[in-house]
């Protein structure tokens, strides 16, 4: 699997974990159409989507945050809370 395919799969998993494109859009304050246009997670949306979905930034954008080592697949609760507050 290519890096781009892996990022696309991670994005799909994150969207599904949150409840779908419309729910992601609502939580991020953007249009559903915008979310449907993503082939990989846009850089500005990585941290908020990580907080919403629990899918690690390392899986969503390894090109930006590096490869996922063991244990990085879960978002630290304190960090997720800070990002979640910023998206509300």
Can you tell me the mean pLDDT for 24-52? 97
What is the average pLDDT value for the chain, to the nearest integer?
85
Q: How many residues does the chain have?
A: 88
Q: Which residues contact 49 (CB under 8 A, 6 or more apart)?
A: 11, 14, 18, 24, 28, 41, 55, 60
The b/e string for 3-25 (b: 16+ C-beta within 10 A; e otherwise) is eeebbbebbeebbeebeebeebb
Is the pLDDT at 1 greater than 50, yes or no? Answer: yes
Entry pTM: 0.79
pLDDT the model gives residue 77:
46
């Amino acid at each position: 699997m290519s890096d781009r395919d892996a990022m696309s799969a991670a994005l799909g998993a994150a969207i599904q974990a949150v409840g779908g494109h419309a729910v992601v859009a609502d939580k991020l304050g953007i249009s559903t159409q915008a979310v449907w246009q993503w082939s990989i997670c846009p850089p500005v949306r990585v941290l908020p989507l990580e907080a919403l979905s629990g899918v690690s930034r390392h899986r969503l954008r390894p090109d930006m945050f590096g490869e996922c080592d063991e244990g990085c697949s879960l978002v630290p609760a304190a960090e997720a809370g800070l990002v979640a507050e910023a998206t509300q």
